[in-house]
Amino acid sequence: MTSQADAGRPSRLLRNLSAKIASIPMMLTAVVIFLGGTLWTVVYSFTNSKLLPRLSYVGLDQYERLWAAPRWVVSIQNLAIYGFFTLVFSLVMGFVLAALMDQKIRFENTFRTIFLYPFALSFIVTGLVWQWILNPEFGIQSVVRSLGFTGFTFDPLYDSDIVIYGILIAGLWQGTGLVMCLLLAGLRGIDEDIWKAARVDGIPVWRTYLFIVIPMMRPVFITTLVIIASGIVRVYDLVVAQTSGGPGIASEVPAKYVYDYMFQAQNLGQGFAASTMMLVTVAIIIVPWAYLEFGGRRRG
């Protein structure tokens, strides 16, 4: 009976055949455009292309020139600082807000909308708003001084030593609401019986979160980390809107470096080399995520 039933079933390759056929155009698009464009960028990063691409290979010269450029080194340092604090603060603040929202508070939908609203704004709008807020002439510094605190100083966008933290403030304001919503969805997926059992056993709430709830939310945290990390690598609009890379080159980031060299300096080879380094950064993020997400499932 079993062999007859198996014989009547279509092979795994032919299952959901219509859906697989419908996905062919998207798969071809992904392979030809994304994969092809990526390979094209990597290949031309080893050339001396200027205004137009040309296959005049120069080996690793573009990469040597890239890592010898102070502007690129500063942009990598800024990305590391911005990325570390964005990951830490957005996850911590997002989880705290999600835990508070999970207490079935009144006007939950209103608060959730308020916290998520900044994410609906474009990065350019967010950057311009925070440029005004942090402007010492009519922003926070001006308001506090008008209250009598004449010695108060708060102008991070005009101080090359802390300008990246001014950009960080705007990034956290915009992105923390999304993190809160993702983690809140994960918290709502925790079985209520687990909370009841923890209360019966007398386990403190903080221990329940730390040793029971958070480990159960591992897939949600991994997905959230990938979303945050991909946004960190691509940060560009906030910098352009707030500082345009200044003062000097103090707030440069890799994405701006790539854009400036490819479309303003007309040095495609250098822009392709910087793009390839960004691709390596993305791969460092995506490969562990794919392993944790799919490799772990396969072992389970």
- Phi and psi at 59, nearest 5°, equal 70, -130
Q: What pLDDT score does 52 carry?
A: 87
Is pLDDT larger for residue 264 or for residue 7?
A: 264
On the question of pLDDT at 51 being above 90, the answer is no
CA atoms of 118 and 180, how far apart (whole Å)? 12
Q: What is the mean pLDDT of residues 34-48?
A: 90
Residues 6+ apart with CB under 8 A from 94: 176, 177, 178, 179, 180, 182, 183, 224
On the question of pLDDT at 176 being above 90, the answer is yes
On the question of pLDDT at 155 being above 70, the answer is yes
Confidence tier at 1 by pLDDT (50, 70, 90): very low
Confidence tier at 186 by pLDDT (50, 70, 90): very high
Contact 233, 84 (CB under 8 A): no
Q: What is the mean pLDDT of residues 87-114?
A: 90
Q: How much is the pTM?
A: 0.85
Comparing C-alpha atoms, which of 71, 38, 120 is closest to residue 254?
A: 71
Q: What is the mean pLDDT of residues 275-291?
A: 82
Q: What pLDDT score does 9 carry?
A: 59
